[in-house]
């Protein structure tokens, strides 16, 4: 760096970074930042493209520790990613003929969640099953392995989207490869009937607000679609004056065309963070494909 200067050195060491490869920012977890530095300088993967094979070959298989849906125990499971089939699969036994689950690349997302999972390499993978979100939680003891899996999933998403949207450039597709959640944390909620407020773990994933009894639940207890202001969605500071039964003092009211959702946060700073996340979504115009998702939510039983 001293002899070449920072910009020249960076240009050399990053000369062949694949467009799908995740470039971490200062806010990302330590694993992503460390493995980016190791890939760039130690392994020199971006000056020797043949070293990118673990995440760019279009096929990957191996074993990951996966959290059991019911007992919460992490067990070794075989995972297979195949771009040709457009799917990530996992098997309960290494010799099993049929996969336990098939996750379509089209609806798949992956985001590192070390604090939630309780492991520095913890990855949360979500996919749609019967148009409801399903979570699986995995990790590998080797940090490089885990980041290679993450980038292999992003590569598969990238190649799927290139086919689905042939006119789109890399700049349009790369933001769609994986996404971090807009906001997560505990809030109290009440149902549409007169039941009291209950503490739930909430996750804001793009326009889906999901709530869980436990942060590591496989399925959400419920999902709420948050549309745009033009479509009749608004977010209000506080709760209606007649509201009773909430223990936490900082209320939020989400107004949808169908009903109001009443939420309460423990602290004012949490309320502000949630309000900001909701307003970002409500202020963003809806895309054509999001109207189809909204219609499905309206017809859910």
pLDDT digits (tens, 9 = 90+) for 103-127: 999 999 999 999 999 999 999 999 9
Q: To the nearest whole percent, how much of the chain has pLDDT over 90?
A: 81
Binned at pLDDT 50, 70 and 90, residue 301 comes out as: very low
Residues 83-97 as b/e (b if ≥16 CB within 10 A, e otherwise) read beebbbbbbeeeeee
Q: pTM of the prediction?
A: 0.90
The answer to whether 159 touches 58, Cβ cutoff 8 Å, is yes
Higher pLDDT residue, 102 or 295? 102
pLDDT value for 1: 53
pLDDT digits (tens, 9 = 90+) for 140-159: 999 999 999 999 999 999 99
Average pLDDT of 188-213? 89
pLDDT value for 27: 93
The answer to whether 110 touches 120, Cβ cutoff 8 Å, is no
221 has a pLDDT exceeding 70: yes
pLDDT digits (tens, 9 = 90+) for 46-58: 999 999 999 999 9
pLDDT digits (tens, 9 = 90+) for 77-113: 999 999 999 999 999 988 899 999 999 999 999 999 9
> In residues, how long is the chain?
301
- Rounded CA gap, 143 and 232, in Å? 45
Q: Which two tokens stand for residue 233?
A: 């969605």
DSSP secondary structure of 240-271? -TT----SSSEEEEEE-SS-EEEEEESSHHHH
pLDDT value for 297: 79
CATH class of the domain at 183-299: mainly beta
Q: Do domains 18-174 and 183-299 have the same CATH topology?
A: yes
Higher pLDDT residue, 289 or 263? 263
CATH number for the domain whose boundaries are 18-174: 2.30.29.30
Over the chain, what is the mean pLDDT?
92
Higher pLDDT residue, 10 or 61? 61
3 has a pLDDT exceeding 80: no
Residue in this structure with the two tokens 């920072």, named with its chain if needed: 6
Instruction: Give residue limits of the domains in the chain.
Output: 18-174, 183-299
298 has a pLDDT exceeding 80: no
Average pLDDT of 2-14? 73
């Amino acid at each position: 760096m001293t002899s070449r200067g920072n910009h020249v050195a960076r240009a050399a060491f990053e000369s062949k970074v694949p467009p799908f490869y995740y470039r971490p920012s200062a806010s990302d977890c330590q694993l992503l930042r460390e493995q980016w530095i190791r890939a760039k300088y130690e392994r020199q993967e971006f000056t020797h493209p043949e070293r990118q094979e673990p995440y760019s070959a279009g096929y990957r298989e191996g074993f990951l520790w996966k959290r059991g849906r019911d007992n919460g125990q992490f067990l070794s499971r075989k995972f297979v990613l195949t771009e040709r089939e457009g799917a990530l699969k996992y098997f309960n036994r290494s010799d099993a003929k049929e996969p336990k689950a098939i996750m379509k690349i089209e609806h798949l997302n992956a985001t590192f969640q070390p604090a939630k999972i309780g492991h520095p390499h913890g990855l949360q993978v979500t996919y749609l099953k019967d148009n409801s979100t399903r979570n699986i939680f995995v990790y590998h003891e080797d940090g490089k392995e885990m980041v290679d899996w993450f980038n292999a999933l992003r590569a598969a998403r990238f190649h799927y989207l290139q086919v689905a949207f042939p006119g789109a450039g890399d700049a349009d597709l790369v933001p769609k490869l994986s996404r971090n959640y807009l906001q997560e944390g505990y809030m109290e909620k009440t149902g549409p009937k007169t039941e009291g407020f209950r503490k739930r773990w909430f996750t804001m994933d793009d326009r889906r607000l999901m709530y869980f009894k436990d942060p590591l639940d496989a399925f959400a207890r419920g999902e709420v679609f948050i549309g745009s202001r033009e479509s009749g969605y608004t977010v209000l500071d506080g709760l209606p004056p007649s509201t009773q039964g909430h223990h936490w003092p900082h209320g939020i009211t989400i107004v949808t065309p169908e009903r109001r959702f009443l939420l309460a946060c423990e602290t004012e700073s949490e309320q502000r963070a949630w309000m900001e996340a909701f307003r970002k979504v409500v202020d963003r115009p809806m895309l054509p494909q999001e109207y189809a998702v909204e219609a499905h939510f309206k017809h859910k039983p």
